[in-house]
Amino acid sequence: MPDGAVETGPRTMDEQATLPDLSNAEFILLGFPDVNGSIRGKALRPDAFKTAIHHGSATTDLLLALDPVDTPIDDYDRFGIRSGAADILLYPDTTTLRQIPWRPGWWICLGTPYWRDGSVCELASREVLRHTVVEMAALGYDTLAAVEYEVRLRDAEGRYLSSGISYSLAEIGRLDSFLAELRRALEGMGVELNAVHTEAGPGLVELNLGARPALRAADDAAYTKFAMKELAAARGLTASFLAKPAVGEEGSSGHIHLSLWSEGQNAFAGETTGGPLAPVAVNAVAGVLKHLPAASLLLNPTINSYKRLVPGWFAPVNVSWGLENRSSAVRAIRSEDRPELSRIECRRPGADANPYLALAAITASASLGIRNHAKPPASVAGDAYSREDLQPLPSSLSEALAAFESDEAFRNELGERFSAYYATSRRWELKAWQQTVTDWERERYERAV
């Protein structure tokens, strides 16, 4: 939502899904993704959930101001602990209502938080994505997206469930019962799991989700993380989306595929004008590349994120794009035989990114590129990782924060109120890191100094 604009009142039931029979439900989990992507909320009984549809469910605005370990971020003064942690109202978006297959009688639903004055909470990450999708629609395009997650699986003793051979059919067979259960669970939640394969890291598995309208794609990603962690825990396993959990091993990515559609046709598959891509795809690539340094704050939001983004570990470290080039930050894919598959893939995000904010960052950047008729730099053929002449991307959270704060157009596209809010949350992470003394520091320096 642009700064200054106010949306009042939740969407009516006519604009939402027909409510299923919940009379035999035990509980409905009603929540919203926080700034880190974690779904926070309450378990409501059916009658309370139905009341929430019309009147909202009261929760605390402290949920907007908590860090990953639940410490209140006291740098905010309009909401959170310093203002008394007042109520906000969470209204269910019943189009997201899903049964939880592994918990009989339980359901889950995402909601939209509203301030007490009736205006939508412009800080909520799902609403930030909704705003960027609306802005793209104003340019004449519907946004379609799909997420790929790399997730690490360990057993109760911390041992990895695969040895680290990429695309191994034998290795994937060792995970057959868990993956079958995951597939059934996601299918029951309306999430399309298209493919699974092992990656070149111990315990590392990649999940390919189906392409959906952007908001639905992010919902699917959030539900996938929720299901993956819950199902793993039920089996005594651990599923980790940490970007870089171990030294000397591949990190975990969260690549995002994006295409733009107009009147039912893939605009990225349109006629080209002397190059490999349709004009709108050229503009979108240019926009994503121009704002990728600033967008890194949303695509790589943690201190740990940047341990993955180092040369030699198959993660992009420079501003680069190429046609079918997996070493570049943006991979352009054009399919003549199946035009619906033409798209761009941003390979910068880590698995630790909030999927709503990561997709919002890419959509906002593409919108800016289209609006400004931007042109990208020359495409890269061959190994982009080794190109020392290309602009480097931020290699730390502090560098990403500086790039974000210097990119006014990008911040405005996301919304200045949200951008200020988000930057504060990342400065809090930096402060928490600066106040931490690690085992590495003790082991490296204690004897020498």
Tokens of 246: 């171990």
DSSP 170: H
Question: Look-up: residue for tokens 């082991």?
Answer: 443
What is the domain partition of the chain in residue ranges?
13-123, 131-424
Tokens, residue 261: 């559609």
What is the average per-residue pLDDT within 86-92?
A: 96
Residue 275's pLDDT band (boundaries 50, 70, 90)?
confident
pLDDT of residue 107: 97
Q: What percent of the chain has pLDDT over 90?
A: 87
Which pLDDT belongs to residue 349?
98
Which letter does DSSP use for residue 85 in this model? Answer: -
Query: Which CATH architecture describes the domain 131-424?
Result: 2-Layer Sandwich (3.30)
β-strands 106-114, 27-33: how paired? Answer: parallel
> Token pair 């019309």 is at which residue?
54
**What's the chain's average pLDDT?**
93
> Are 13-123 and 131-424 in the same CATH fold?
no
Residue 240 pLDDT: 96
Number of H helices, E strands in the chain: 13, 16
Region 223-238 average pLDDT: 96
Quick: pLDDT tens for 163-201. 999 999 999 988 999 999 999 999 999 999 999 999 999
Backbone angles phi, psi at 31, to 5 degrees: -150, 180
Per-residue pLDDT at 99: 96
430-442: average pLDDT: 94
Return the pLDDT at 373: 96
Give phi and psi for 431, each to the nearest 5. -65, -40
Neighbouring residues of 348: CB distance < 8 A, sequence distance ≥ 6: 292, 295, 296, 299, 300, 309, 315, 316, 329, 393
CATH number for the domain running over 13-123: 3.10.20.70
- Nearest Cα to 315, choosing from 363, 353, 355? 353
- CB-count burial class (<10 Å; 0-12, 13-18, 19+) for 374: buried
Note the pTM of the prediction, 2 decimals: 0.94
Rounded CA separation 325/384 (Å): 8
pLDDT of 54-76, one tens digit each? 999 999 999 999 999 999 999 99
Confidence check: pLDDT of 217 > 70: yes
Residue 9 has pLDDT above 50, yes or no: no
pLDDT tens-digit readout, 110-147: 999 999 999 999 999 999 999 999 999 999 999 999 99
What pLDDT does residue 354 have? Answer: 98
